Amino acid sequence: PGLYAAGECACVSVHGANRLGTNSLVDIVVFGRRGGKHMAEFCKQAALAPLPADPEKDTAAEFDRIRNSKGAERAAVIRSDLQKLMMNNVGVYRNAADMQKAIDGVRELKARYAHVKIDDTGKLWNTDALENFELGCLLDLAEVTAVAALRRTESRGAHAREDYQARDDAHWLNHSMASLARGSWGVGVTGGEIRFDNKPVTITKFQPKERKY
């Protein structure tokens, strides 16, 4: 209770699996406003959640780790390699072999990310540390994206599998909700288990239809 989401991360199903460019404005503007108004009412009567004595500890430790990283790898190089890997293997048209190649490749990049080099060790306006932190987040998201796509054995919306060309409503008319389980907190960490839950899709007036390319 108390956690609100608006936009694509909220999975409100306005556009189904086919969210065209800029159409997420409906998710953001409409549900952002509705969520904001509901939050205001919620805050009037909600009690504050208990907080740990040092809630910033894990986040601060992660940035300290990144700021003091002295490896031989460069974030820009890893980021470029990640872009090529995902473009080549997890595009709109995809198959199991390519997606597995992407998963293996992302995990190799995560191993390299553990040895990234940073030049600016300061705490003020440190864009070097920020770029390295963002890269860790990108690596996590890339792995989750590829694993979720491999798991979904059907074609739906912009997820067009060459090895599973039909839509499978019996098994996959749901949202894939992913979470990372780790023994220690941090971005871009190797070896974290990805857990999936399925969230039902709310269908009111418009039923799912076949997408033809």
Domains and CATH numbers, the chain: 1-50 (no CATH), 61-200 (1.20.58.100)
How far is Cα 78 from Cα 80, in angstroms, rounded to an integer? Answer: 5
pLDDT band at 86 (very low <50, low <70, confident <90, very high): very high
Q: Considering only residues 69 and 208, tell me which one the structure prediction assigns the higher pLDDT.
A: 69
Q: Mean pLDDT score of the chain, rounded to an integer?
A: 88
How far apart, in whole angstroms, are the C-alpha atoms of residue 84 and residue 89? Answer: 8
If one counts every other C-beta atom within 10 angstroms of the C-beta of residue 185, the result is 11
Q: Residue 29 has what pLDDT?
A: 83
* Measured distance CA(7)–CA(113) in Å, rounded: 30
Per-residue pLDDT averaged across 135-159, rounded?
94
DSSP-derived pairing of the beta strands 160-161 and 93-94: parallel
Model pLDDT, residue 16: 72
Range in 6-15, 116-125, 159-168 with the lowest mean pLDDT: 6-15
For residue 130, the model assigns a pLDDT of 93
pTM: 0.86
Beta-carbon count within 10 A of 49 CB = 8
Higher pLDDT: 26 or 128? It is 128
pLDDT of residue 182: 65
pLDDT band at 40 (very low <50, low <70, confident <90, very high): very high
Residue 200 has pLDDT above 60, yes or no: yes
Q: What burial class does residue 110 get, using C-beta atoms within 10 Å of its C-beta: 0-12 exposed, 13-18 middle, 19+ buried?
A: buried
Residue 153: phi and psi, rounded to 5, are: -90, 65
Residue 184 has pLDDT above 60, yes or no: no
Per-residue model confidence (pLDDT) at position 154 = 96
pLDDT at res. 107? 95
Query: pLDDT confidence of 213, banded at 50, 70, 90?
Result: low
At residue 197, does pLDDT exceed 90? yes
Q: Is the pLDDT reported for residue 62 higher than 90?
A: no
Q: What is the pLDDT of residue 1?
A: 66
Question: Cα–Cα distance between 176 and 165 in angstroms, integer?
Answer: 19
